[in-house]
Amino acid sequence: MTGKDRDARVLALYEQVLEIEERLIPTGLHVFGRVDEERARVDMLRMVASFDRPEKGVRALTDLVAEGLGFKDYSALLRARAGDEDALREREEVDALVRRAVELFVQEGTEAAARLLETNARVSAEDTRSTFHLLERVCAELKKNQEMESLLRALRGQYIEPGPGADIVQNPLILPTGRNIHAVNPYMVPSEVATTRAEATAENLLERHLREHGRYPRAMALVLWGLDNIKTEGEGVAQALWLLGVRPLRDSLNRATEIEVIPLEELKRPRIDVVMTVSGIFRDLFGATIVLLDKAVRRVAALDEPVEMNFVRRHVLEQMSADGSFDEAAVRVFSNAPGNYGTNVNFMVMDSQWETAEALGDLFVTRKCFAYGRDSKGRAFEGREARLCMDRALSRVEATYQNIDSFEIGITDVDHYFEYLGGVSKAVEKRAQARPAIYVGDNLSRSSCVRSLEETVQLETRTKTLNPKWYEGMLKHGFRGVAEIESHVTNTFGWSATADAVDDWIYAEVAKTFVLDEAMLERLCQLNPHSARSLVGRLLEAEGRGFWKAEKEMLERLREIFSDLEDQLEGVA
């Protein structure tokens, strides 16, 4: 290896460490009715302060500091990648100063923090006033907690003040917590901001696919969640429209009820066919949006364009020549049967109730093959079973995609990401006879980006499951904390089961950290022996199903430990 290669590798490694450091890592569970500790408050405020909010006249501290120090604008520093050592150093300098300013703000208040930035970054107090003003309000709300009081009021059947449902960083107005959450007006979705952000993400995704696979995906399967689209005012919806090459049009009441086709000359790429699986929550909340999405697909399918530039038309024509009507061939929005929710793929995985991985994909389709939209005569077909349509639509899919919907909850924190994105990917694998490329959108950090599923699993493992800051935070919660650690391991396993996306080193490091370290195993067993046993059992299951090539000695040790734990729990030993 030359000195230059080595420098490049070190820099790339350094960049990964920065990526991990940048993420908001929850260091414990939220305890109902209790306010967070100061350190968690600082982390949260730092994230709030890292976003421009033009509608409130609030500038991001990161951007103000970068300007004050005479660097490139902060977004450019974030975009600068391996090799650009200067940009990395400058970005680190900005981040460190912002962190110090926010810490000082929490300890001593606005004036001290503003003075620090004036002295060290030549940012005038005038420029930071509105930002600190926002932080003051958020900080004051974070110190209050009316959750228990509101619960008691609810139980007494009394009035609870309403508030918007969103993510604190995306919309600090959700504070204080403990209010009656309301969603969005579905006719406003997607908002203009969502549309702008979605274009960047979708282009990012297509570029990456083109770079790695040599062409655009002809069809993609997208997962759309309700809560995600509430929080982002419909970024997921806007991404689907952008992939199709259309924009939402607003009527005289400012409702997004119509579609405008973007001409191919402007789009400069083919229209991508999209198969949308929407959650039960999305279906219940966004009826008007489902009609809009279905309308968009039909409009695009009917455009008189060359099929190599319009994959929707290509597939619909193919389907119609084989059999069936336009109405059958153009179905693309699927969800549960009316009144039903979820895929059950998570339960099948957690209970080890499956023989072949195919069963997981088949279960996904069984639960989600109900079509929503309108036919050519405008008649609604709300939730009619359309298994054959879904099988055919998925058989053409080459890439799958879902957005991460919150700063705090990622793809290994809950079982729902693998049940949806994993479930649909496994269903595609059988029907298309090839595993799709699987992407996860992270539009939460400032450097909005699309990662492969494998990259995302690695990042989450490093920032959470294997990070002492995270698991020690969990262990402070005793019984529940151990259950959380076990649940992370099971959710990670879920990505093996549905998408084969977990490297051997992940299982090996989990085993070393939580099981083969005697002191740690002892702590877990003291706090929650059942979860400790499940964790070891899950590692053995990963090996048994061929997801992990474990070293022989390690495997034997795990088997012994598992058997001891079983004996202890059954009172034999």
Among candidate residues 149, 168, 169, the one with its CA nearest the CA of residue 159: 149
Amino acid (one-letter) located at 323: D
Site for ligand BEZ in 138-177 (CB under 6 A): none
Do 74 and 66 meet the contact criterion of CB atoms below 8 Å apart?
A: yes
Binding window for ligand BEZ (CB under 6 A); candidates: 8-16, 274-282, 302-310, 444-452: 274-282
Q: Does 216 bind ligand BEZ (CB under 6 A)?
A: no
Cβ burial 503-515 (10 Å sphere, 16+ → b, else e): eeebbbebbebbb
Q: Does 237 bind ligand BEZ (CB under 6 A)?
A: no
Rule CB under 6 A: choose which of 195, 279, 490, 498 binds ligand BEZ. 279
Binding window for ligand BEZ (CB under 6 A); candidates: 202-210, 277-285, 303-311, 515-523: 277-285
**Which C-beta is closer to ligand BEZ: that of 36 or that of 415?**
415
Binding window for ligand BEZ (CB under 6 A); candidates: 194-202, 219-227, 368-376, 537-545: 219-227
Q: Does 364 bind ligand BEZ (CB under 6 A)?
A: no
* Residue 71 φ/ψ, nearest 5 degrees: -90, 175
**Which C-beta is closer to ligand BEZ: that of 225 or that of 407?**
225
Q: Does 232 bind ligand BEZ (CB under 6 A)?
A: no
Cβ burial 286-300 (10 Å sphere, 16+ → b, else e): beebbbbbbbbbbbb
Instruction: Tell me the DSSP string of 413-429.
Output: TSSHHIIIIIHHHHHHH
Q: Does 368 bind ligand BEZ (CB under 6 A)?
A: no
Q: Does 186 bind ligand BEZ (CB under 6 A)?
A: no
**Which C-beta is closer to ligand BEZ: that of 95 or that of 419?**
419
Do 472 and 419 meet the contact criterion of CB atoms below 8 Å apart?
A: no
Q: Does 113 bind ligand BEZ (CB under 6 A)?
A: no
Among candidate residues 308, 329, 165, 149, the one with its CA nearest the CA of residue 231: 165
518: how many CB neighbours lie within 10 A of its CB?
9
Distance separating alpha carbons of residues 477 and 60, to the nearest angstrom? 34
Binding window for ligand BEZ (CB under 6 A); candidates: 62-70, 95-103, 212-220, 276-284: 276-284
Do 541 and 535 meet the contact criterion of CB atoms below 8 Å apart?
A: no
Q: Min. distance of Cβ 191 from ligand BEZ in angstroms?
A: 18
Rule CB under 6 A: choose which of 105, 225, 311, 439 binds ligand BEZ. 225
Do 490 and 415 meet the contact criterion of CB atoms below 8 Å apart?
A: yes
571: how many CB neighbours lie within 10 A of its CB?
6
* Residue 274 φ/ψ, nearest 5 degrees: -125, 130
Q: Does 281 bind ligand BEZ (CB under 6 A)?
A: yes
Site string for ligand BEZ, 406-445 (x = CB under 6 A): ----------x-----------------------------
Binding window for ligand BEZ (CB under 6 A); candidates: 136-144, 222-230, 387-395, 545-553: 222-230
**Which C-beta is closer to ligand BEZ: that of 232 or that of 467?**
232
Q: What SS3 state is found at 230?
A: helix
Q: Does 475 bind ligand BEZ (CB under 6 A)?
A: no
Binding window for ligand BEZ (CB under 6 A); candidates: 63-71, 86-94, 144-152, 220-228: 220-228
Residue numbers of the site for ligand BEZ (CB under 6 A)? Answer: 225-228, 279, 281-282, 416
